[in-house]
Structure 1
Amino acid sequence: MNRTTARPFTVMDEFELIKAATDYSLEQDKNGRISGNFYHCKLTSAFQVILDSRENKIIGHAAYIRSESHGEVSLWPWQVFALASKDEQLIDLDRLCRAIHALNYFKKNPDTRTGQLFLSVHPRLLSSIQNEHGRTFKDFLDLTGISTSRIVIEIPPALNHDWKLLQKLIINYRSYGYQVAINFSGTHGHELPGADDLHPDILIVQAHELLHYQKDDPSADSYARDARPLLHVRKIETQAQLTAAKQAGAHYLQGNFLGTAV
């Protein structure tokens, strides 16, 4: 009787999987770090630690794309995405970046096996795709053995003005098992329209804006008092900002003062 067994998943399978999802070639350096190519840009990942303020431990990392040439930064992320003038190019680029981040984070470093990966999404991508946001990335994660519950999708503040789209995105991503973070920055009057109905998992506030929110809108602190959403203070650059974040009851802390992206 013939017996079939599942074929082990290998790094080469991961390479082929990304190639199938995009039209760009991949490389792997001697340290196992994976990079992809978009036009003349060599793209790879940098990760910045996110700390749990209550337990004072790392709970995950935020991912950032890096464009390199001969080991040096050649383009900033916004410049890389500016190269994708067409929606089809932007979709391919975004998928390439997320795949590279996931492989570098979950497959390369054993210390990240229990951490959460925070990934931002380009605002133009979110408005150009009509339905099933996050489905293609879930298919990729399923094949690589990564649970969507380990991924936090960050919705950019540019979407805060469109409450209906924001609500749709949160429902869409959560239906596939992702956690969802929205930005308090960029809101009018320091309030998210319909925030009581959005129910994100995480609310992101920039450290330099936190004191203004506390002074001008006391309700900003109320988010930290609730079990949900969790308050994530980002771009902490000074001791004063760290102190303010802790006083506000922030659950998650991130910034160069705590650790640069590497």
Structure 2
Amino acid sequence: MLFPALEHYLARLQETTLPKATSSEQSDDAELMSRNPANRVWLDSDGRVQGTYFNTTLTSVFQPIRQIAVSREDVNSPTSTDSIDISEAHKDTHKIVGYEGFAHSYSPNDNGLYLWKLLDHAASDDESIELDRLCRMLHSINFYRQSKEGSEAEQSPQNADLYLSVHARLLAAVDSNHGMAFRRILRLLGLPHENIVLQLPTITSTQSWLLNYVLDNYRRNQFRLAVNADTVAQAHGLLERVRPDVLKIDGRGLINDAETQRLLEITQKRGIRVIFKRLEKLRDFESVQKLAEQSFVLTGARIAGQGFFWDRPQASLGVFSASVRVNQSAMASPSQQAPL
């Protein structure tokens, strides 16, 4: 494992009772353990970290974020149409550039159930903060514990970005330094905060005061920020209000029009990554594929996609293909649709 502090923490979790620790280790354990004694963290027989939220057992699953393939990766001049054979685009592969973590209920037989409603039904602000932070801690541990020595692959945990959501309720509930507690946990575990992207929920125009406060605090703690947009028009507004590092846009029903092209021109100039999420059907993928090809030829911009068209969330990163080719039979059925 590439992270000695994390390895030490996992070794301590394997003990039924934590061994007698030094005063500094006791302090560290207090930072990493829940303030609510009913919520605890432990290892299962497969080495996955689980946590308890009241009577619910939680664990992590991950879904890849893939760069949309446009042509051979050795293109020398992406702004020249002569150098790109667009007819070859569908022969290219869609490599992994990041993963998003989701909280699922624990099941010994499968990946459990997605628990996105837990925060909505939390009884108090303190409990919502507790659950939100517990999930991010679980995801970080379960992601980076899968790092392997000597792995140079771009999709490996030590090289890929990890996207973690911040629930809307947490934004208003926290009255102190946003991101400080999570940054401290990452430091205690020796994990790279620079590879973690915090995803903010959709922000309304009436929340500008809150948004500015939250963004400032997360940036002070040196986190990169992603924001979610339901439409391209909404994404345009977020560019100026938020100045994000990443834009995640719903890719269902995408229209490749002047507004969309303008958005990609702006994000390319500002170095903002664009991810089209919820790609589940072939027609949605084809719209994003065409947009990716056109944008790459015109500006050199690369865009990314995420969805069940390629990958279902899984606990193990090893089950995902590092790159995939377009397979029209890979369309997800309605029963496979996931909340992303």
Match of 1:88, as an amino acid? D
CA distance in 2, matches of 1:84, 1:107: 29
Matches of 1:169 and 1:210 in 2, distance apart?
30
Question: CA 1:159–1:124 in structure 2 vs 1: closer, same or farther (change >3 Å)?
Answer: farther
Change (3 A) 1:39 1:21: closer
Percent identity over the alignment is 25
For the Cα contact (< 8 Å) 1:157–1:186, is it kept in 2? no
SS at match of 2:118: helix
Unmatched tracts of structure 2, length 5 or more: 15-28, 74-93, 149-155, 293-301, 315-340
TM-superposed deviation, 1:95:
1.1
* 1:150-172 superposed Cα distances (whole Å, 9 cap, x missing partner): 11000001455422322332222
**1:113-192 equivalence runs, <5 A:** 113-159=158-204, 161-185=206-230, 190=234
Counterpart of 1:3 in structure 2 is none
SS at match of 1:226: helix
Choose which of 286, 299, 306 in structure 2 pairs with 1:254.
306
Map 1:29-178 to 2 at 5 A: 29-53=44-68, 56-68=94-106, 71=109, 76-110=114-148, 111-159=156-204, 161-178=206-223
Alignment partner of 1:199 out of 243, 246, 250: 243
Describe the SS at the equivalent of 1:59: strand
> CA 1:14/1:247 → structure 2, altered by over 3 Å: closer, same or farther?
farther
| Structure 1 position 228 matched with structure 2 position 271 | yes
Contact 1:119–1:154 (CA<8 Å) still a contact in 2?
A: yes
Tell me how far 1:69 sits from its aligned partner: 5.0
Q: Whose Rg is larger?
A: 2
Equivalent residue of 1:98, what SS? helix
Aligned length: 253
52-61 vs 104-113, greater mean Cα deviation: 52-61
Higher relative contact order structure (alpha carbons within 8 Å, sequence separation ≥ 6): 2
SS in 2 for 1:139: helix
Deviation of 1:173 (Å): 1.2
| Structure 1: stretches of 5+ with no match in the other structure | 1-5
TM-score (norm 2): 0.66
Matched residues in 2 for 1:193 and 1:234: separation? 18
Residue 33 of structure 2 is matched in structure 1 by: 19
Classify 1:160/1:197 alpha carbon distance in 2 versus 1 (closer, same or farther; 3 Å). Answer: closer
Asked whether the 8 Å contact 1:34–1:103 carries over to 2, the reply is yes
| Separation of aligned partners in 2, 1:246 and 1:201 | 22
Counterparts in 2 of 1:28 and 1:150: CA distance versus 1, 3 Å: same
